[in-house]
Structure 1
């Protein structure tokens, strides 16, 4: 159960990061509210997962999921341009997160 909560929390990290960007400095109300809700839910889920998982592993997995999805969202929306190096580094990041989970 802790892993499921951690994964959902990692996804919510990407949601709040994208919403933060879309809020344009907290000037747009809807993305600002989405940012705040996703941030609180993401942190609460991370905190709960850390009661059952090692702190370092939980945090690394949470950050890895959030960072990977945020970069992929940037590719999809055209805010970032994919290239071979970025894609290979994302694959390495995902592999590292999977590896951390495998050895935990």
Structure 2
């Protein structure tokens, strides 16, 4: 169940990051409210996941999935460039988190 909580937390993390963009500095009411909900949801589910998962694994996974999701949705929804440098950097993030998970086992 902890991994499902972590997946939900990561989804809320992506929603939080995108919501900040759409809220335009918290000047748009609906996106600002949705962003606040996403913040609470992300932290809430992360805290549930941390009951059973080590913080040294769960937190990096949460931030990595949030980062990767934000990069992909930034490309898909916002028309941001998906350059070779971004792809290599994303692969480095995945490799680093995988290393932390392996080291914790």
In the TM superposition, what is the alpha-carbon distance from 1:79 to its structure 2 partner?
Answer: 4.4
What do residues 14-39 of structure 1 show as CA deviations (whole Å, max 9, x unaligned)? 10110011101111111111101111
What do residues 20-76 of structure 1 show as CA deviations (whole Å, max 9, x unaligned)? 111011111111111011110110001111111111211000000001101111111
- Structure 2 matches for 1:61-100, cutoff 5 A? 61-100=61-100
In structure 1, the residue matched to 2:39 is: 39
Secondary structure class of the residue paired with 2:14: helix
| Structure 2 CA distance for aligned equivalents of residues 18 and 78 of structure 1 | 9
Question: Structure 2: which 5+ runs fail to align?
Answer: none
In structure 1, the residue matched to 2:57 is: 57
Question: Structure 1: which 5+ runs fail to align?
Answer: none
| Structure 2 CA distance for aligned equivalents of residues 79 and 45 of structure 1 | 29
Distance 1:4 1:98, change over 3 A: farther
Distance 1:43 1:69, change over 3 A: same
Structure 1 window deviating more from structure 2 (72-81 vs 59-68): it is 72-81
Matched length: 104
In structure 2, the residue matched to 1:11 is: 11
Pairwise CA RMSD: 1.6
**Runs of 4+ deviating beyond 2 Å:** 77-80, 94-104
| Structure 2 CA distance for aligned equivalents of residues 41 and 48 of structure 1 | 11
